[in-house]
């Protein structure tokens, strides 16, 4: 029997008449025309240079996300270049030698392991808990705006979009909200290797920052062992208590859970806030309509999440040869489920490339994913967005860009959609 072709050989045979690549920073900055072309010509887009395919149609993305037996969240790692693989290996080696190497928890696991981790974390994001938190979220929004409103301008990204979710997630974890700039630096470093190619110097800076975070968090774990508090770190440290035959989470597991909660708590909601406010500056008609009828804020939020999905896409691993939209994806290939592209699928959303405040909700957007890995913090993120835009539209008028963008609007990132900055000018209401 002939030997089976290697994965990279099989991926190289997948034909596609599209010349662009998602690895191009210019495409990452504004990918919408690229997605339209893929939807028409190549909905399952091969990326043999990184051992992956990108799935772009709404129903196909749903299929990938709801079939973990075919598309696993465990053991994900793209091929990439030898230099990148060596750098990633060195990064992990440094963590193992001086801190805790990455292990698989929550988003890096499949049911039933994922279910067990999720049950622990979800305690902090139950609907009842979010309802109880809402007055405090409103107060944090008000306090941040109060500090900015007299000046009539701000750099929205660092003055509001980062501090709001950063403050809330820090408090939920049990960390000092006064240190959110430090925690934001941790989140950026933890994401750096997955976001874009790094130089050796940038890699070393990122790993040193993650080590700083790990040792700070390890000390917090020890404090909670002796003196539990009403916070998520305490819940996780004592998760085994009262569970028959349960073992405490290891420090490595706790570190990985914190990695996901810190990065998710900062970056994704920050991006959604930035993109919603940017849209307000581009659509004065939408700004005025929602300001006059604040009951429209939740609809505005959902359409922002569809229109400018803050998570561009996440990766799974094909556990066997599997056909998607007529393309056989080889076993072992990395499969990028592209949320952004799915949310602009014209076969599902009428006039998909237009922002429509009155859009039908017959088809739900996939900004938070779907299936077992649906974002555990979705309810909190939604409330933060509703509270934020309600407060801004109540308390200001004439929100506009303070200056045009000088260069790319977005930082280079394969998986996320972070804005570089958002300078605003506004009038106090």
Q: Exposed, middle or buried: residue 160 (CB in 10 Å: 0-12, 13-18, 19+)?
A: buried
Rounded (10°) angle between helices 251-263 and 200-226 = 110
Contacts of 164 (CB under 8 A, 6+ apart): 137, 140, 141, 144, 269, 273, 384, 388
Q: Pull the structure tokens for residue 401.
A: 């860009």
Residue 359 has pLDDT above 80, yes or no: yes
Q: Find out whether the peptide bond into 112 is cis, omega within 30 degrees of 0.
A: yes
Distance CA 353, CA 137 (A): 32
Assign 195 a pLDDT band (cuts: 50, 70, 90). confident
Look at residue 2 in the predicted model and tell me its pLDDT.
43
Q: Pull the structure tokens for residue 74.
A: 């465990």
CA 204 to chain centroid? 23
Enumerate the β-bridge partners of residue 327. Answer: 324
Residue 3 has pLDDT above 60, yes or no: no
Distance CA 224, CA 411 (A): 37
CA-to-CA separations, 122 to 166, 177, 369, 376, in angstroms, rounded: 18, 21, 16, 6
Residue 5 has pLDDT above 70, yes or no: no
Look at residue 167 in the predicted model and tell me its pLDDT.
96
Query: pLDDT digits over 98-131, tens only?
Result: 999 999 999 999 999 999 999 989 988 989 999 9
Query: pLDDT digits over 201-254, tens only?
Result: 999 999 999 999 999 999 999 999 999 999 999 999 998 765 666 688 999 999
Which of the pair, 360 or 67, is modelled with greater confidence?
A: 67
23: nearest Cα among 281, 199, 147, 195: 195
Mean pLDDT along residues 18-24: 87
Look at residue 9 in the predicted model and tell me its pLDDT.
80
Query: pLDDT digits over 42-58, tens only?
Result: 999 999 888 899 999 99
Look at residue 79 in the predicted model and tell me its pLDDT.
57
Give the CATH fold of the 7-428 domain: Cytochrome p450 (1.10.630)
Look at residue 21 in the predicted model and tell me its pLDDT.
87
Assign 273 a pLDDT band (cuts: 50, 70, 90). very high
Look at residue 1 in the predicted model and tell me its pLDDT.
39
Strands 314-318 and 52-55: unpaired
Q: What is the mean pLDDT of the chain?
A: 92
Look at residue 69 in the predicted model and tell me its pLDDT.
96
CA-to-CA separations, 362 to 327, 343, 379, in angstroms, rounded: 28, 13, 20
Q: What's the predicted TM-score (pTM) here? A: 0.93
Distance CA 31, CA 136 (A): 37
Which of the pair, 13 or 99, is modelled with greater confidence?
A: 99
Q: What percent of the chain has pLDDT over 90?
A: 81
Look at residue 425 in the predicted model and tell me its pLDDT.
97
Query: pLDDT digits over 61-105, tens only?
Result: 999 999 999 999 997 665 555 667 788 899 999 999 999 999 999
Mean pLDDT along residues 189-211: 92
Residue ranges covered by each domain of the chain: 7-428
Which of the pair, 4 or 375, is modelled with greater confidence?
A: 375
Assign 133 a pLDDT band (cuts: 50, 70, 90). very high
Residue 286 has pLDDT above 90, yes or no: yes
Which of the pair, 344 or 266, is modelled with greater confidence?
A: 344
Look at residue 244 in the predicted model and tell me its pLDDT.
64
Residue 307 has pLDDT above 50, yes or no: yes
């Amino acid at each position: 029997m002939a030997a089976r072709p290697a994965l990279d050989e099989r991926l190289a045979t997948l034909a596609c008449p599209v010349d662009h690549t998602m690895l191009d920073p210019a495409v990452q900055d504004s990918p919408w025309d690229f997605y339209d072309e893929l939807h028409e010509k190549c909905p399952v887009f091969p990326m043999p240079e990184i051992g992956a395919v990108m799935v772009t149609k709404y129903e196909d993305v749903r299929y990938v996300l709801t079939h973990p037996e075919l598309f696993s969240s465990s053991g994900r790692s793209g091929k990439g270049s030898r230099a990148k693989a060596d750098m990633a290996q060195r990064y992990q080696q440094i963590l193992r030698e001086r801190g805790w190497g990455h292990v698989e928890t929550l988003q890096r696991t499949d049911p039933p392991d994922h279910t067990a981790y999720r049950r622990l974390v979800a305690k902090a994001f139950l609907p009842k808990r979010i309802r109880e938190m809402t007055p405090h979220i409103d107060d944090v929004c008000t306090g941040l705006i109060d500090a900015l409103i007299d000046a009539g301008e701000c750099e929205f990204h660092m003055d509001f979009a980062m501090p709001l979710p950063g403050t809330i997630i820090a408090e939920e974890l049990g960390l000092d909200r006064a240190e959110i700039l430090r925690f934001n630096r941790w989140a950026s470093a933890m994401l750096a290797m997955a976001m874009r190619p790094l130089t050796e110097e940038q890699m070393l800076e990122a790993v040193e920052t993650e080590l700083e975070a790990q040792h700070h968090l390890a000390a917090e774990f020890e404090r909670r062992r002796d003196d539990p508090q009403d916070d998520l770190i305490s819940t996780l440290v004592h998760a085994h208590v009262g569970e028959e035959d349960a073992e405490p989470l290891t420090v490595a597991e706790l570190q990985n859970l914190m990695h996901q909660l810190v990065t998710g708590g900062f970056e994704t909601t920050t991006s959604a806030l930035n993109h919603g406010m940017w849209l307000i500056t581009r659509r004065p008609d939408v700004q005025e309509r929602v300001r006059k009828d604040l009951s429209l804020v939740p609809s505005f939020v959902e359409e922002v999440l569809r229109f400018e999905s803050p998570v561009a896409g996440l990766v799974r691993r094909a556990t066997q040869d599997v056909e998607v939209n007529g393309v056989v994806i080889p076993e072992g290939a990395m499969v990028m489920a592209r949320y952004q592209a799915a949310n602009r699928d014209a076969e599902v959303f009428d006039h998909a490339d237009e922002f429509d405040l009155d859009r039908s909700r017959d088809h739900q957007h996939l900004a938070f994913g779907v299936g077992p890995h649906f974002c555990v913090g979705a309810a909190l993120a939604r409330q933060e967005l509703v509270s934020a835009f309600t407060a801004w539209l109540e308390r200001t008028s004439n929100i506009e860009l303070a200056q045009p963008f000088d260069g790319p609007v977005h930082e280079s990132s394969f998986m996320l959609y972070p804005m570089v900055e958002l300078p605003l000018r506004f009038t106090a209401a």
